[in-house]
Amino acid sequence: MESDSVTKSCSGTQRKKLRSLNLKNLKLRDVNIKELMENSWKFLRRKWQLVTVICLMLFIPLIYGLNSSSAVLIVVDKQPLAVVENESQGKEILENVKNEVAEQYGITIAGFDTEISFKEGDPKDGSMLLPGEELNEELKKRINWLADCWVIDITGKPKLYLASEEAAQKALESVKQQYLPTADEQLEILETKFMEEVEIVSTAGPLKELITEAQAVEKMARGLDKIIQHSVKNGDSLWSIAHANNLTVSELQEMNPQLTGTLLQPGQELNLVKAEPLLTVVTTYQTTVEEKIPYKTVYESDSSMWRGQQSVVCSGVNGQREVTYRVTTVNDIETQKESIIEKILEEPVSRIVKSGTKVIMASRGDGGSGKLGWPLRGRLTSYYGWRGREFHTGLDIDGVTGDPIYAAEDGVVIERGWRGNYGYCVAIDHGDGLSTLYAHLSSIGVSMGQTVSRGDYIGKCGSTGRSTGSHLHFEVRINGSHKNPLNFLDR
């Protein structure tokens, strides 16, 4: 009995050793044959039991396994998702889900572009979904279904998928309408077109990207938000960047959660969201408007009036015309406007103004106009008029030798040089009978016949001729007769 228990738990080589030991023991104990036979039979019986157990352990799972070898896993995007009896059951489920999706969206499902495969799997795998509502929902979600739809394809821009061709056309039409000029009876739209190449094409598009007509209009007209990077430059502030991009500071901060304060570092990158319209609408229209023709002003010179004096002979009247313009706008902005037909309804009447050319104006008191410029500014030391028995023909203005003397008005030099009591003197003819004279000069700065303008330098103050001290003797004559200069000088 001892030997049996040992055999059960020992390996082959150990067993051989034990067997020889038994034989030795047998010899020693002098055992008979019968006993030996009995022991051998017991041993074999035990062994068969063992073999049977082993066989059962091996075959039961194998038989079970063979029975369920048709179980497969549905693998979506390389990820096992569910276990089903066989591939055809899996395909049937997919077909049903496809029909459910089609019904739900009211659209024909053309297929899908998700990788789906079947592989042998363990039907007892608890991590897999089993056929049922939960699996259907999961498949609806995970599979990228392709719908029979229409795409608005704008060259170089993201595609827009719509359920019907009609919706796509209406969306494009709406975008055009948004940019049409305000309704006006006289307005005739000649053409609206897109600057971009636009096509509406039938396609199998991703169901998830399907949008409505209204969404398509908004995307095309208002544009898609696009994030761009702004590199901070010296002098930039959150406010200035926000302002330059039609944002508020808080919007800018929202786009850049990495900002901790309001201080910016040059070179720092900020995110800005900018709208990028997908379409540019070019509209050409014709419009007819009535507009006024502004009158012109015509000046006629009149020598009977003093210079600077004007009189309106005829007040102007605006005319009226009817003009047809051809206007081109690009997204609402007028880029071209040309008049193609113009019809005068009423000619304008010019405004006629008479403008005086006479240099010195009509008299005030002693024929003076108060319009001559002062040839020298200084204390008046002697006035025009009787000085005892002598008549003083001019005005004496105190000055220092060398002070500049200026022409009192535009004119022509008619005299320059020495003249007796006057000493060195200059006389200027201003036209219309008016002349001025400047005497006792220390030097003369003009030549005979020279044209001078009011305020021009003509010589220097002095005390030449009959003079008691340096001053300017200034005379005004009209048609050769002396006049009181004070009545002519600027006040």
268 three-state secondary structure: coil
Distance in Å, CB of 390 to Zn ion, minimum: 10
Which position has the token pair 């001559």? 372
Stretch that binds Zn ion, among 13-21, 56-64, 248-256, 468-476 (CB under 5 A): 468-476
- By beta-carbon proximity to Zn ion, the closer residue of 307 and 440 is 440
CB closer to Zn ion, 307 vs 473: 473
Looking only at the bridges linking them, the beta strands covering 411-418 and 224-231 are unpaired
For Zn ion, the closer of residues 80 and 394 by Cβ is 394
Smallest CA-to-CA distance from 419 within 436, 402, 439 is with 439
Judged by CB, which is closer to Zn ion: 59, or 391?
391
Residue 384 beta carbon to Zn ion: minimum distance, rounded to whole angstroms: 9
Q: Which stretch binds Zn ion (CB under 5 A): 308-316, 395-403, 449-457, 477-485?
A: 395-403
User: Residues 193, 232: contact at Cβ < 8 Å?
Assistant: no
Spell out, one character per residue from 346 to 365, where the chain touches Zn ion: x when CB under 5 A holds, - when not: --------------------
Which residue stretch of 207-215, 278-286, 314-322, 467-475 sits at the interface with Zn ion (rule: CB under 5 A)? 467-475
Residue 396, interface with Zn ion (CB under 5 A)? yes
**Strand-pair category, 160-162 with 269-276:** unpaired
- Indicate the residue among 121 and 423 with the shorter CB distance to Zn ion: 423
d(CA 406, CA 373): 8
- The minimum distance between CB 441 and Zn ion, in angstroms, equals 13
C-alpha distances out from residue 488 to 72, 310, 356, 383, 438, Å: 122, 21, 18, 13, 15
> Applying CB under 5 A, which part among 85-93, 205-213, 387-395, 475-483 lies near Zn ion?
387-395
- Is residue 475 involved in binding Zn ion (CB under 5 A)? no
Q: How many CB atoms lie within 10 A of CB 259?
A: 15
- Part of the chain binding Zn ion (CB under 5 A), chosen from 162-170, 272-280, 423-431, 465-473: 465-473
Beta-bridge partners for 326: 286, 338
Closer of 283 and 470 to Zn ion (Cβ): 470
CA distance 259 to 167: 43
Largest pairwise CA distance in the chain: 200
Which of 473, 475, 483, 485 binds Zn ion (CB under 5 A)? It is 473
The torsion angles phi and psi of 141, rounded to 5 degrees, stand at -75, -45
Shortest distance, CB of residue 298 to Zn ion, whole angstroms?
A: 47
Give the residue with the Cβ less far from Zn ion, 205 or 394. 394
Q: Does 440 bind Zn ion (CB under 5 A)?
A: no
Find the part of the chain contacting Zn ion (CB under 5 A) among 12-20, 136-144, 275-283, 394-402.
394-402
Rounded least distance, CB 460 to Zn ion, Å: 17
Residues in CB range of 229: below 8 A, 6 or more apart? 269, 270, 271, 272
- Shortest gap between Cβ of 367 and Zn ion (angstroms)? 20
- Give 234: exposed, middle or buried? Use CB within 10 Å, 0-12, 13-18, 19+: exposed
Residue 491 beta carbon to Zn ion: minimum distance, rounded to whole angstroms = 21
The Cα–Cα gap between 43 and 49 comes to 10
**DSSP of 79-118:** EEEEEESSHHHHHHHHHHHHHHHHHHHTS-EEEE-S-EEE
Contacts of 107 (CB under 8 A, 6+ apart): 147, 148, 149, 163, 207, 210
**Piece of the chain touching Zn ion by CB under 5 A; list 130-138, 175-183, 258-266, 471-479:** 471-479
Q: What's the closest the beta carbon of residue 303 comes to Zn ion, in angstroms?
A: 33
Q: Which residue is nearest to Zn ion (CB)?
A: 473
Q: Which is nearer to Zn ion, 221 or 428 (CB)?
A: 428
Phi, psi of 268 (to 5 degrees): -65, 140
455, 406 in Cβ contact below 8 A? yes
CA distance 149 to 155: 19
Give the nearer residue to Zn ion in terms of CB position, either 123 or 394. 394
Residue closer to Zn ion (CB basis): 43 or 418? 418
Cβ nearer to Zn ion, comparing 396 with 409: 396
Give the binding-site size for Zn ion (rule: CB under 5 A).
3
Closest separation between CB of residue 372 and Zn ion, Å? 17
Q: How far is the CB of 473 from Zn ion (least distance, A)?
A: 3
Stretch of 106-114, 232-240, 245-253, 390-398 lying at the interface with Zn ion (CB under 5 A)? 390-398
Which DSSP symbol is given to 436? E
Quick one: how many helices (H) and strands (E) in the chain? 9, 29
CB of 382 to Zn ion, least distance (A): 6
Nearer to Zn ion, 367 or 394 (CB): 394
Name the minimum Å distance from CB 461 to Zn ion.
13
Backbone phi and psi for residue 44, each to the nearest 5 degrees, phi listed first: -65, -40
State in angstroms the smallest separation of the CB of 386 from Zn ion.
13
Where on the chain is the footprint of Zn ion (CB under 5 A)?
394, 396, 473
